[in-house]
Chain A
Amino acid sequence: MASRKESGVSSSNTLDSPVKQIQIEGLVVLKIIKHYQEEGQGSEVVQGVLLGLVVEDRLEITNCFPFPQHTEEDADFDEVQYQMEMMRSLRHVNIDHLHVGWYQSTFYGSFVSRALLDSQFSYQHAIEESVVLIYDPIKTAQGSLSLKAYRLTPKLMEICKEKDFSAEGLKKAAVGYENMFEEVPIVIKNSHLISVLLWELEEKSTVPSKHELLSLSSSSSHLEKSLQMLMDRVDDMSQDIVKFNTFSRNTSKQQQQKHQYIQRRQQENTQRQSRGEPPLPEEDISKMFKPPQPPPRMDTLLIAGGLSVVLDKHLIQCDFRTLLIRRYCWFVPE
């Protein structure tokens, strides 16, 4: 694939991906923004379901509905039932009731987790073309709507299917942190009537357009927080590396011990033979030396993937934007 490759996420130019572009209606964007604004303050994530249909190689998202937060009444609240009822009701009013994915908000880019992987895997397994939309409210508040669509690469799907998360499995499928997720480009499309509405809003609205983008000071606290998240992730990563190193050291030590034991045995046996005694029985070596557990490599991958997403998407883009503003302002005092 000669496409431009961004580390952590590769742009989807693969021929075998069934979805090449996502088309979202303006209504869905507004609903997602509203859901986070009203219910998501302070808490980790808000989630919801995307509805739409598939047209050739485009995935059209025409509506969505939010999921309630997991609160104290978790036990009696039946998510599946809520979903079923919602979809049935929406079908009555002719809204597309086909599930095509789900959306989630993120906090400074920290959305790569085991839970996300599991959910997206079950979605993609059931429905081939589903995507997860990640909405970043903090970046949006800074001036540019941040909505990204991700899918799992087919290689990762295979691994999840077999549930083989050991190092061998990952090596076999040649999955690195770079090809875990693929990003699908998004396009916003509005119908004619909505365009009329937009003209009307422009006329009537008294809110001046915000120029958050150009503000010189707003990025500093965000930069700090992003760096903090980066440090946390790097800590996680180094802990994981230490774990892996101790594991490999233990295994090699154990190999050594095993070998020594075998040699000693052989020596003893030859000695005994020379003395005419029966050789000692070959003991089951593997029972004596239990190999240490290899740490699950999946988490490493996830952390690495998450790190690179944070680095690439979040920080570097933050940087470039403010760098540009500062270069631009360089000429102001003259």
Chain B
Amino acid sequence: MSVYGPVVKIHPVVVASIVDSYERRNEGASRVIGTLLGTIDKHSVEVTNCFSVPHNESEDEVAVDMEFAKNMYELHRKVSPSEVIIGWYATGYDITEHSVLIHEYYSREAQNPIHLTVDTALQSGKMSVRAYLSAPMGVPGKTVGVMFTPLSVKYVYYDTECIGIELLQKTRTSPSRTNGLTSDLTQVAGSAAQTQEMLSTVLAYIEDVLAGKVTADNSVGRYLMDLVDKVPMIPAEDFETMLNSNINDLLMVTYLTNLTQTQIALNEKLSPFLPTRPSPYPSSFILFKLLMPKA
């Protein structure tokens, strides 16, 4: 049985799902639990999906709807057959005794399940996401217990997820927490402004170093060298010709698209005027008359 290295990679969609199910929990329930799905690697575990499982918790007992969990897993398997159960999650800051019981159930479903806690009640001041692995401890034969060893958590993104998250980040700043999908132009302007800001920060730093206000740092200097090297050495005329030809291509594409659009519009307007069968419209009647042989 392999022991995982201590890295748990989480996709943001999983944590968002957990937060959402916490917001929709039943009245009286203080926390939500659910299954984690994902893939297992040699040194890491990647969590890509999750679903919540209804459960009841009281002082002395805990009941988990296992039938439901199995069903949901089957349904999810139909969509993504490569995802397996790799553990379970619970909202809240601490690990309770009930967690131990639930963890035992999950050990039957998966080898060495991961336990994830998401602190949605913000007990520690921020929403911390932590992962644990269970290990048996104690004196064998006498008092045996289970210890949860913490693992390190990393967030991983697909490229498109990155872009999605960036867009979502914008909703933090607006007062109504909303954000429309912006057009391309505004986004280009935004990106360009960001790059400009970064450049000015770098320039300010360089000037400070030259003026002696800040001590020079070798590693930063090396990064700057890399940066300058990346700009290709092209004489200005070649650069201009490249840009020109590109712009010409684009102008032609714009011309073509306009042409095609006009063509479609024309086609639409013309087709009703061709005779399909004798119709009461005067224009087609005239055409019909023209086509008749002179008797």
Least CB distance, B136 to chain A, in whole angstroms: 31
Q: Mark A123-142, 1 if CB is under 8 A from B, else 0.
A: 00000000000000100110
A228 within 8 A of B: no
Docked complex: B221-264 residues within 8 A CB-CB of A = 236, 239-240, 243, 246-247, 249-250, 253-254, 256-257, 260-261, 264
Q: Is B194 an interface residue (CB 8 A)?
A: yes
Q: Are A30 and B16 closer than 8 Å at their CB atoms?
A: yes
CA distance A241 to B24 in the complex (A): 55
Interface positions, chain B 1-29, Cβ under 8 Å from A, are 11-13, 15-17, 19-26
Q: Are B180 and A26 in contact (CB under 8 A)?
A: no
Quick check: is A37 within 8 A (CB to CB) of the other chain?
A: yes
* Interface flag for A273 (CB, 8 Å): no
Task: Report if A37-B161 is in contact (Cβ < 8 Å); known contacts: A145-B181, A197-B15, A308-B264.
Answer: yes
B250 A66 Cβ-Cβ under 8 A: no
A304-B68 CB under 8 A given contacts A196-B122, A259-B293? no
Given contacts A23-B178, A82-B75, contact A197 B169 (CB under 8 A): no
Cβ contacts under 8 Å, A214 to chain B: 188, 191-192, 195
Chain A residues with Cβ under 8 A from B41's Cβ?
Answer: none
Q: Once the chains bind, are A193 and B161 in contact (CB under 8 Å)?
A: no
Q: Is B179 an interface residue (CB 8 A)?
A: yes
Within 8 Å of chain B (Cβ to Cβ): is A68? yes
* B184 interface neighbour in A294, A315, A321, A326, Cβ under 8 Å: A321
Stretch at the interface among B108-116, B201-209, B271-279: B271-279
Separation in Å of the B282 CB from the closest CB of chain A? 15
CA of A68 to CA of B79, assembled, Å? 4
Q: Are B19 and A227 in contact (CB under 8 A)?
A: no
A329 and B243 form a contact (CB under 8 A): yes
Whether B172 lies near A195 (C-beta < 8 A) is yes
Give Cα distance in the complex from A186 to B182, angstroms. Answer: 10
* Cross-chain contact A201 with B126 (CB below 8 angstroms): no
Given A140-B160, A195-B171, A333-B236, decide whether A89 and B71 contact each other with a Cβ distance below 8 A.
Answer: yes
Residue of B nearest to A230 (CB): B260
Q: Does chain A have a CB within 8 A of B159? A: yes
Q: Which residues of chain B are within 8 angstroms of A194 by Cβ–Cβ distance? A: 16, 19-20, 168
Residues from 174 to 205 in A contacting B, C-beta threshold 8 Å: 176-177, 185-202, 204-205
Which residue of chain B lies nearest to A297 when distances are taken between CB atoms in the complex?
Answer: B271
Partner of B185, one of A77, A140, A312, A324: A324
With most chain B CB atoms within 10 A of its CB, the pick from A26, A207, A312 is A26
Report how far A325 CA is from B243 CA in the complex, Å: 10
Chain B proximity mask over A145-184: 1 for CB below 8 Å, otherwise 0: 1010000000000000000000110010000110000000
Chain A interface size, under 10 / 10 to 19 / 20 to 34 / 35 or more: 35 or more
> Is B165 close to A, CB under 8 A?
yes
CB-based contact A320/B185 at 8 Å: yes
Report the contact-size class of chain B (Cβ under 8 Å from the partner): 35 or more
Chain A positions within 8 Å of B256 at CB level: 230
| A residues near B52, Cβ cutoff 8 Å | 93
The residue of chain B having its C-beta at the shortest distance from the C-beta of A244 within the complex is B271
Contact A213 B187 (CB under 8 A): yes
Binary contact track B276-295/A, C-beta < 8 Å → 1, others 0: 11100000000010011101
Q: Are A248 and B274 in contact (CB under 8 A)?
A: yes
Please name 27 pairs of A and B residues whose Cβ atoms are closer than 8 Å in the assembled complex, sorted by A: A23-B178, A26-B16, A26-B171, A30-B12, A30-B164, A30-B168, A33-B160, A33-B161, A67-B79, A89-B71, A92-B65, A92-B68, A93-B24, A95-B21, A137-B160, A145-B163, A145-B181, A147-B181, A187-B179, A189-B176, A190-B177, A210-B163, A263-B295, A294-B276, A311-B260, A315-B253, A317-B183
Q: A94-B26, A187-B178 are in contact. List 7 more A-B contacts (CB 8 A).
A: A25-B20, A33-B13, A144-B187, A199-B172, A206-B155, A260-B293, A320-B184
A interface, CB within 8 angstroms of B: 7, 23, 25-27, 29-31, 33-39, 63, 66-68, 77, 82, 85-86, 89, 92-95, 137, 140-141, 143-145, 147, 167-168, 171, 176-177, 185-202, 204-207, 209-214, 223, 227, 230, 234, 237, 241, 244-245, 247-248, 251-252, 255-256, 259-260, 263, 291, 294, 300, 304, 307-308, 311-312, 315-317, 319-326, 328-330, 333
